[in-house]
Amino acid sequence: MKYRDIIGGLFWLGVGVLFFVWSTRYPRGSLRQPGPGFIPAALGILLVLLSLMLLGRAVKTFAIAQRQPPSSPFRNWRKVAFTVAILLIGLFVFETMGHLLTFFLLIVFLMRGTERQSWKKILLVAFCSAMGVYLVFVLLLKQPLPQGWLGI
């Protein structure tokens, strides 16, 4: 059972109810002419609905978990250690190798090391990830990232 889902669901349910109650102090208006209380009321209702969905999923998960024996929390420690090691290596070679090659190789090693997948999928995801980082950070946000060996 994920207690944090239940606690989170109850927290956001409370926040949603508070937003809705506080919005009653202001005129809501209509859809054509919303007042100052319209957005807080809508957000309160949305938070209540989403928190009820979260609580429902948590209760369903609890019912399923009661039928299964508990699993060990250290079951996937090798994958976690591998992922942390690869990210640390990427941190140290980022300046030297540059952002494109570093992100490409990070994705390749992470996808190949954590779960066996086809090379076609790995190379496609790695290429798209590196190009996505380039498009967002270099072209759109104009952030100077290390160019490394490639000079790109």
Is the model's pLDDT at 124 over the cut of 90?
yes
pTM of the model: 0.52
Q: How far from chain centre, in Å, is Cα 33?
A: 35
Helical axes 38-67 vs 3-23, angle rounded to 10°: 160
Q: What is the largest CA-CA distance in the chain?
A: 61
Supply the pLDDT for residue 98.
87
Supply the pLDDT for residue 1.
47
Helices (H), the chain: 3-23, 38-67, 77-97, 99-114, 119-133
**How far is 42 from 30, CA to CA, in rounded Å?**
12
Q: Which residue has the higher pLDDT, 78 or 1?
A: 78
Contact status, residue 32 vs residue 78, Cβ threshold 8 Å: no
| Domain residue ranges in the chain | 3-67, 77-140
Contact status, residue 59 vs residue 32, Cβ threshold 8 Å: no
Question: What confidence tens digit (pLDDT) does each residue in 53-85 have?
Answer: 988 888 888 766 666 666 666 667 788 888 889
Residue 123's pLDDT band (cuts 50, 70, 90): very high
**How far is 100 from 149, CA to CA, in rounded Å?**
10
Helices (H), 68-114: 77-97, 99-114
Structural tokens at position 70: 């508990």
